[in-house]
Chains A and B, each alone.
Chain A
């Protein structure tokens, strides 16, 4: 299995906030071009990579979706050279005080290093003094003088997390946006494995836009491609300090297979059997109704698409120090590749409900 870490680190180092995914989309398209037969960009910016199967014409297709957008902030006002910000997607405000960020200044085209600041209590209203202040009371300081800030930065400019990824012990990587750039890396590893593995079905690798806000990319790409099956890859919740409930799973101990109303039970069973055979450790991740992923959108697109969810555990999700075991990301990539290559021409006919 190829080393996914370098590509993963480059994915995390490029911006791609929900709605503004172009920088990371370019990186992904460039990476996928030699691995697939055709690449294209959807009407709303998702990246599509088609790797054709070996079967006869009119081959069935499988779409594998990983969202490439990341959560972040946007400039909402400029006051005395300081910036006010609003969230793009579900930002965990607890990480913001003292967070290193990059302001993508549209006035000057610069990427400015900056810091998010929590003003002293006496500068805040009574209600915001204890606990974490709401994001509207935080400020961003670029270190520049007010007249330069006003010239270079505009309301609406993006503000992304800037802390670099780091390697922790136990082959664990930590950084922002592992949700869901690590899934893009897993899908890329799958495409790399498929260079040496024949497969009958067409495979559509899709990096979707705006999962964090509206599943726009999932709905639109599923409709445009109209695959027979879909697999979504995303992050699950890892066990960690103060985090040990039934929804959580040990980091480094395998991949998650979603189960619940959002997931086609036959696909889930098929993935499970495959993981067993390959001796890839797995666990069942129960999602009673809503998977909280692109699978929610894809399942009900057009006339409906049987959808499954493959995950790997991420610790501290939606923070700047998300952590995941590289091994689990690789396992997910491998499971995908094996699933693709094992798909028989008549697989759809074998799907039964009972």
Chain B
């Protein structure tokens, strides 16, 4: 049985606080390598920076199972110096500009503190106030004399915290998947070859996963991500019909998203595992979004894939929120599923 305690929580904290914007995933890569090195028979860092670790099982007719989680997060990149500690920037991955004003960030490998402010409301004309500010009007402010380099990445300065049944942190998408995969890798069962892909650049086009699938050439793939829970009340009190997933109902099994129709055999297999092990689970509402499964499924001659997500609220914003129980149940479900995989899983569709 996988453990779920302080060690796992401290690892998740370290992962969420690290800044690894798509294209510069180093800070998380280092943590991952440190964690998996001792457990892997093979570890390599590929041409894009993904960590590919293999743990072979024992016995005959083992399936090669690729489990993928992405290390990168959405963030900002410095594009020009404006003088006096002010820098122009662009976004990397999908960030709503309205989440940027009034936030504290860290810039570059040295994590220099910076803020993004706005023209004070007192000095605006009345119709200017609620209009969305365009990204090119904003600046990273390191303070006079502050020095950043063009090309430095920047991420939110949010500190991970545990609050009652929940955690509040940045980049729960997908550090919670990375932490899950690390745990699964450490507890890998003997009936499969476990190919762990800690991919880069998911947020900007599922690019690391595509390459990782080519390398591993697995029989099937499971993607561990974190999907939005839009389980908020509507302003008019109406019924919420597009919640996607809900917090507290357990790991979300994907049926279909914007890039993949998940393999029905694997979807059914996960559902059966959850029921047999009495692990709560939910189905993610079909449609929209996407995970690394989109790239993996169409690699090579096609790879059966399924995605499982830990639900989280407030995606791609300074503070996301997830339930610890949902995380625990996701680890338990996947661990149990990996143990039950046999070649028969991929027979009749």
In the complex, which residues of chain A have a beta carbon less than 8 angstroms from the beta carbon of B313?
Answer: 117, 141
In the complex, B298 has a CB within 8 A of chain A = no
Contact with A along B224-262 (1 / 0, CB 8 A): 000000101111100010100000100000000000000
User: Does A168 contact B132, Cβ atoms closer than 8 Å?
Assistant: no
**How many residues of chain A get a CB closer than 8 Å to chain B's CBs?**
67
In the complex, which residues of chain A have a beta carbon less than 8 angstroms from the beta carbon of B132?
Answer: 130-132
In the complex, A247 has a CB within 8 A of chain B = yes
User: Does B230 contact A123, Cβ atoms closer than 8 Å?
Assistant: yes
Stretch from A205-213, A270-278, A318-326 that touches the partner: A318-326
Interchain CA distance A132-B124 in the complex, whole Å = 15
Asked if A168 meets B122 with Cβ closer than 8 Å, knowing A82-B233, A134-B130, the reply is no
In the complex, B346 has a CB within 8 A of chain A = no
B184 CB to closest chain A CB, in angstroms? 26
A216 CB to closest chain B CB, in angstroms? 20
Binding site for B on A (CB under 8 A): 79-80, 82, 90, 92-100, 112-113, 115, 117-120, 122-125, 128, 130-132, 134, 137, 139, 141-145, 148, 163, 166-172, 174, 237, 240-243, 245, 247-248, 251-252, 292, 315-323, 325
In the complex, B121 has a CB within 8 A of chain A = yes
Interchain CA distance A125-B236 in the complex, whole Å = 9
Asked if A144 meets B166 with Cβ closer than 8 Å, knowing A98-B318, A237-B122, A319-B102, the reply is yes
Contact with A along B309-340 (1 / 0, CB 8 A): 00001100111010000000000000000000
In the complex, B205 has a CB within 8 A of chain A = no
Instruction: Report, nearest first, the 7 A-B pairs whose CB atoms are least far apart.
Output: A95-B102, A168-B143, A316-B117, A169-B146, A170-B144, A143-B166, A169-B143
In the complex, which residues of chain B have a beta carbon less than 8 angstroms from the beta carbon of A123?
Answer: 230, 232, 234-235, 240
Contact with A along B118-153 (1 / 0, CB 8 A): 111111000001111100011101111111000000
B345 CB to closest chain A CB, in angstroms? 36
Which residue on chain B has the smallest CB distance to residue A100? B319
**8 Å CB contact of B113 from A130, A167, A242, A322:** A167
Interchain CA distance A310-B118 in the complex, whole Å = 24
Provide 29 A-B residue pairs closer than 8 Å at the C-beta atoms, listed in order of the A residue.
A80-B233, A90-B121, A92-B118, A94-B101, A95-B102, A95-B103, A95-B118, A113-B161, A120-B232, A123-B230, A141-B313, A143-B163, A144-B163, A145-B164, A163-B104, A166-B113, A166-B157, A168-B85, A168-B113, A168-B142, A170-B85, A171-B143, A174-B104, A243-B120, A248-B123, A315-B117, A316-B117, A322-B117, A323-B141
In the complex, which residues of chain B have a beta carbon less than 8 angstroms from the beta carbon of A247?
Answer: 123
Which residue on chain B has the smallest CB distance to residue A176? B102
Chain B contact residues (Cβ within 8 angstroms of A): what range? 35 or more
In the complex, B98 has a CB within 8 A of chain A = yes
Asked if A113 meets B114 with Cβ closer than 8 Å, knowing A143-B163, A170-B85, the reply is no
Which residue on chain B has the smallest CB distance to residue A145? B165
Which residue on chain B has the smallest CB distance to residue A245? B123
In the complex, which residues of chain B have a beta carbon less than 8 angstroms from the beta carbon of A292?
Answer: 122
In the complex, which residues of chain B have a beta carbon less than 8 angstroms from the beta carbon of A99?
Answer: 102-103, 318
User: Does B121 contact A172, Cβ atoms closer than 8 Å?
Assistant: no
In the complex, which residues of chain B have a beta carbon less than 8 angstroms from the beta carbon of A95?
Answer: 101-103, 118
A135 CB to closest chain B CB, in angstroms? 10
In the complex, which residues of chain B have a beta carbon less than 8 angstroms from the beta carbon of A118?
Answer: 96, 98-99
User: Does A319 contact B117, Cβ atoms closer than 8 Å?
Assistant: yes
Which residue on chain B has the smallest CB distance to residue A244? B119
Known contacts A128-B235, A168-B85, A321-B116; 4 additional CB pairs below 8 A are A132-B132, A169-B147, A174-B143, A318-B120
In the complex, which residues of chain A have a beta carbon less than 8 angstroms from the beta carbon of B112?
Answer: 169
User: Does A137 contact B235, Cβ atoms closer than 8 Å?
Assistant: yes
In the complex, B222 has a CB within 8 A of chain A = no
User: Does A169 contact B144, Cβ atoms closer than 8 Å?
Assistant: yes
Which residue on chain B has the smallest CB distance to residue A96? B102
Which residue on chain A has the smallest CB distance to residue B242? A122
**8 Å CB contact of B117 from A98, A163, A167, A321:** A321
User: Does A170 contact B120, Cβ atoms closer than 8 Å?
Assistant: no
User: Does A172 contact B116, Cβ atoms closer than 8 Å?
Assistant: no
In the complex, B306 has a CB within 8 A of chain A = no
Which residue on chain B has the smallest CB distance to residue A247? B123
In the complex, which residues of chain B have a beta carbon less than 8 angstroms from the beta carbon of A317?
Answer: 120-122
In the complex, B223 has a CB within 8 A of chain A = no
In the complex, B115 has a CB within 8 A of chain A = yes
In the complex, which residues of chain A have a beta carbon less than 8 angstroms from the beta carbon of B102?
Answer: 92, 94-96, 99, 316, 319-321
**8 Å CB contact of B143 from A141, A142, A143, A172:** A172
